[in-house]
């Protein structure tokens, strides 16, 4: 295979409802879409970086700069035998796993189409449908939160994850537990706490959460290990794990009992698969998280989530949970708490090219 042409586009997509976490509110998503073309094949991906460096250090603009000035000029014109090798011409780049993942994941889509198989089966997926949960942002009042959760449960989601931050945590979750009984609940702090908050975090143990996701700073693996020794609620890492090396260290330190695995955060599908294999061997369950992606990123996530180690419901919600209208056809749906893994070639959904063209605010073409 060869990348003969690459097109990077940015399109703002407005969320149906603003999404708030401890680090800020997302009202519209600056979607970065990448298309690779070569030898009659096409590959699509989405870069998951957020607009501001609130989650990890990467942003839409750092990814745009890496992709347009370094990665895409570096890979266009170079043949590659396997998607794992597409970034070889720029293997000197340090960091920026979200920008690199965009190129690698589009190459996987191309490679799956070249073989005439779905991305899921190319990656080694074994399931035709995956169980799904929903991630609920910080709501201003308990009443609004309860209404939102009721709506999602009626839509069939099998697990509800609630964003928390100091001041909106134990009491809020205790009310939710009381109101919704034995429903599967978890909480995501997006690094809003420190070990000085240990007494507060210990109180979470009485709520019966499936896990507490990323309570401490992204670079604080030791802190998460220490916390896990002090609380019963399983600690789940998210933004602390951005590479296979991070995952090995997290395991070595026993810094988590669960992992939220996002291919777009760890450098792509190859790294995600390696992390999946490591966690499986260590008996650490993984689930596929989300980054408020459009249908293109979602298609990649759902394909990965069909691998056997993804034993917990992912943050893989229906297109209509995020967008009035998605940019792929068919849109993603949730039926009986599951999402069907597309079976067609590659990502298995069609990008609405006219709609993408009409929404695009900037575009860079290579080759």
Residues annotated as part of the active site: 163, 262
CB of 74 to ligand OSB, least distance (A): 28
Among 139, 169, 238, 293, indicate the residue that binds Mg ion (CB under 5 A). Answer: 238
CB of 214 to Mg ion, least distance (A): 5
Complex with ligand OSB: residue 113 or 224, whichever CB lies closer? 224
Complex with Mg ion: residue 41 or 272, whichever CB lies closer? 272
Question: Residue 354 CB: number of other CB atoms within 10 A?
Answer: 8
Complex with ligand OSB: residue 107 or 185, whichever CB lies closer? 185
Question: Residue 150 CB: number of other CB atoms within 10 A?
Answer: 12
Closest CA to 221 of 246, 187, 192, 196: 246
Only segment of 61-69, 152-160, 272-280, 289-297 that touches ligand OSB (CB under 6 A): 289-297
CB of 168 to ligand OSB, least distance (A): 15
**308 close to 285: Cβ distance less than 8 angstroms:** no
Q: Does 290 bind ligand OSB (CB under 6 A)?
A: yes
The C-alpha angle with vertex 250 and arms to 24 and 310, in degrees rounded to 5, equals: 75
Among 169, 220, 238, 326, indicate the residue that binds ligand OSB (CB under 6 A). Answer: 238
Q: Measured between alpha carbons, how far is 59 from 65 in angstroms, rounded to an integer?
A: 10
Q: Does 188 bind Mg ion (CB under 5 A)?
A: yes
Q: What's the distance, CA 185 to chain centroid?
A: 19
Only segment of 27-35, 283-291, 325-333, 341-349 that touches ligand OSB (CB under 6 A): 283-291
Q: Which does 315 bind (CB under 5 to 8 A by kind): Mg ion, ligand OSB, none?
A: ligand OSB
Per-residue interface string for the shown chain with Mg ion, residues 193-232, x marking contact by CB under 5 A: --------------------x-------------------
Closest CA to 169 of 132, 212, 129: 212
Q: Does 289 bind ligand OSB (CB under 6 A)?
A: yes
**Half-sphere exposure of 23 toward its Cβ, with a 13 Å CA cutoff?**
20
Only segment of 98-106, 148-156, 270-278, 285-293 that touches ligand OSB (CB under 6 A): 285-293
Q: Measured between alpha carbons, how far is 7 from 15 in angstroms, rounded to an integer?
A: 24
Q: Phi first, then psi: what are they for 260, rounded to 5°?
A: -90, 115
Q: Which does 301 bind (CB under 5 to 8 A by kind): ligand OSB, Mg ion, none?
A: none
Q: Measured between alpha carbons, how far is 289 from 238 in angstroms, rounded to an integer?
A: 8
**Half-sphere exposure of 300 toward its Cβ, with a 13 Å CA cutoff?**
37
- Give the contacts of 159 (CB within 8 A, at least 6 positions apart): 133, 134, 184, 185, 186, 210, 312, 313
Complex with ligand OSB: residue 114 or 326, whichever CB lies closer? 326
Q: Which does 292 bind (CB under 5 to 8 A by kind): ligand OSB, Mg ion, none?
A: ligand OSB
**61 close to 54: Cβ distance less than 8 angstroms:** no
CB of 233 to ligand OSB, least distance (A): 17
Q: Does 210 bind ligand OSB (CB under 6 A)?
A: no
Which whole-number Å values give the CA distances from 267 to 132, 178, 263, 327, in the listed order?
23, 40, 6, 24
Q: Does 10 bind Mg ion (CB under 5 A)?
A: no
CB of 196 to Mg ion, least distance (A): 21
Binding site for Mg ion (CB under 5 A): 188, 213, 238
Binding site for ligand OSB (CB under 6 A): 55, 135, 188, 190, 238, 289-292, 315, 317
């Amino acid at each position: 295979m060869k990348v003969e042409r690459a097109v990077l586009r940015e399109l703002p997509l407005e969320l149906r409802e603003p999404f708030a976490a401890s680090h800020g509110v997302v009202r519209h998503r600056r979607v970065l879409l990448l298309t690779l073309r070569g030898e009659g094949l096409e590959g699509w991906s989405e870069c998951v970086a957020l607009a501001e460096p609130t989650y990890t250090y990467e942003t839409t603009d750092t990814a745009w700069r890496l992709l347009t000035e370094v990665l895409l000029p570096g890979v266009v014109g170079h043949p590659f035998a396997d998607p794992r090798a597409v970034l070889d011409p720029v293997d000197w780049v340090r960091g920026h796993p979200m920008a690199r993942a965009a190129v690698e994941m589009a190459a996987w889509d191309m490679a799956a189409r070249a073989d005439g198989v779905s991305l899921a089966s190319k990656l080694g997926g074994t399931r035709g449908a995956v169980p799904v949960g929903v991630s609920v942002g910080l709501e201003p009042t308990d009443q609004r939160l309860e209404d939102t959760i009721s709506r999602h449960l009626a839509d069939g989601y099998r697990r509800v994850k609630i964003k928390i931050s100091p001041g909106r945590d134990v009491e809020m979750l205790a009310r939710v537990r009381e109101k919704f009984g034995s429903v599967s609940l978890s909480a995501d702090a997006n690094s809003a706490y420190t070990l000085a908050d240990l007494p507060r975090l210990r109180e979470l143990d009485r709520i019966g959460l499936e896990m507490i996701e990323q309570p401490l700073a992204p670079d604080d693996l030791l802190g998460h290990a220490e916390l896990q020794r002090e609380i019963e609620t399983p600690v789940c890492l998210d933004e602390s794990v951005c590479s296979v090396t991070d995952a090995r260290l997290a395991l070595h330190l026993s810094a988590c009992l669960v992992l939220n695995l996002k291919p777009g955060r760890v450098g792509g599908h190859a790294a995600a698969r390696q992390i999946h294999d490591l966690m499986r061997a260590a008996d650490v369950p993984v689930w596929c998280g989300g980054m408020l992606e459009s249908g293109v990123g979602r298609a990649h996530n759902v394909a990965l989530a069909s691998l056997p180690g993804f034993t917990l419901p992912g943050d893989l919600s229906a297109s209509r949970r995020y967008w009035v209208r998605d940019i792929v056809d068919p849109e993603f749906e949730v039926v009986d708490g599951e999402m069907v893994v597309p079976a067609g070639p590659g990502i298995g959904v069609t990008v609405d090219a006219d709609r993408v063209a009409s929404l695009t605010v900037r575009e860079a073409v290579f080759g």
